[in-house]
Amino acid sequence: MTCHLLIPAAGSGKRMGADCNKLLLPLLGKPILQWTLEAAIASEAIAWIGVMGQPHDYPEFQKIFNEISQLKPIRLIQGGATRQASVFNGLKALPIDCDHVLIHDGARCLVTPELFDRCDVALQKMQGFIAAVPVKDTIKVVDGLTIVDTPNRDHLWAAQTPQGFQLDVIKNAHLTALELGWEVTDDAALLEKVGLAVQIVMGEETNLKVTTPQDLAIAEFILNQRN
Ligand SMILES: Nc1ccn([C@@H]2O[C@H](COP(=O)(O)OP(=O)(O)OP(=O)(O)O)[C@@H](O)[C@H]2O)c(=O)n1
Ligand SMILES: C[C@](O)(CO)[C@H](O)COP(=O)(O)O
């Protein structure tokens, strides 16, 4: 157990349309964030967990931490205005002995401990990687309502988290992004923009991100299948 994990959990869940952070919404009786944390705690690889949140959510987050096993240290870190800013805050708060990091969205609450463990193995070998799955749909590139391209699906993968990085590499990429005003939706994109290779680790079809009310219903269905 050596791996450090950062969990961005400081969003507001606009697309969910709830009146609170969507990670506090119940999924089969437990907050979404609790499912994510329980998978991280069950992973053999993860030794330390940092959760980025907004201060107004701290009391609810603390209740969740109290509900789950305290076998691993969980540190609360102040989130930022965007996912990117929240991750950057997390990177700056990592313990001094950390040289590699996994980053996993709190909203991907169906992640399995086995996926975390597979990612930890990748972390030992790669400077940067993401969990991803091959795209099943035929994807169209559209301008207005007109199709301009149908990319070859063999080259299309859907990005997930965990994403894992050598710490100095991802920190430098975030610093460059700050200097140059880059805004991206995942951490791998920053490495891509500075011209560094990012590998793929096979993700999980069920590792969906709970973004809309429909996702919540699908997540409930998948969890019921697991029980
Ligand atoms: N300022 C932010 C925004 C997002 N996140 C986190 O990043 C993950 C992925 O973001 P997303 O699913 O987009 O969450 P929200 O920003 O909450 O949702 P929305 O975009 O619909 O508002 C989530 O776990 C979310 O809590 C974060 O830590 N800090
Ligand atoms: C990081 C991510 O979960 C990868 O799929 C995703 O990019 C988060 O943000 P999004 O804006 O919901 O795509």
- As averages over each run of 10 residues, the pLDDT of the chain (227 residues) reads 93 94 97 98 96 98 91 94 98 96 98 98 96 97 97 97 98 98 97 97 98 98 92
Query: What does the pLDDT read at residue 16?
Result: 96
Residue whose CA is closest, atom 11 of ligand 2? 185
Please tell me if the CB atom of residue 209 comes closer than 6 angstroms to any atom of ligand 2. Answer: yes
The CA distances from residue 29 to 5, 26, 33, 34, 134, in Å, are 25, 5, 12, 10, 32
Atom of ligand 2 nearest to the CA of 107: 3
Burial class of 218 by CB neighbour count within 10 A (0 to 12, 13 to 18, 19+): middle
Closest ligand 1 atom to Cα of 210 = 12
The model carries a pTM of 0.97
- Determine the pLDDT at residue 2: 83
> What is the ipTM metric for this complex?
0.97
Structure tokens at 187: 């951490």
59 CB contacts (<8 Å, ≥6 apart)? none
CA of residue 184 to ligand 2 center, whole Å: 9
The answer for residues whose C-beta is within 8 angstroms of residue 93's C-beta and 6 or more apart is 50, 75, 77
Q: Rounded to 10 degrees, what is the CA torsion of 96, 98, 104, 109?
A: -90
pLDDT at position 70 is 75
Given this model, what pLDDT does residue 71 score? 82
* Test site for ligand 1: of 33, 78, 83, 91, most ligand atoms within 8 A of the Cβ: 83
pLDDT of residue 74: 96
CA-nearest residue for atom 9, ligand 2, is: 185
Q: Is 87 in the pocket of ligand 1 (CB under 6 A)?
A: no
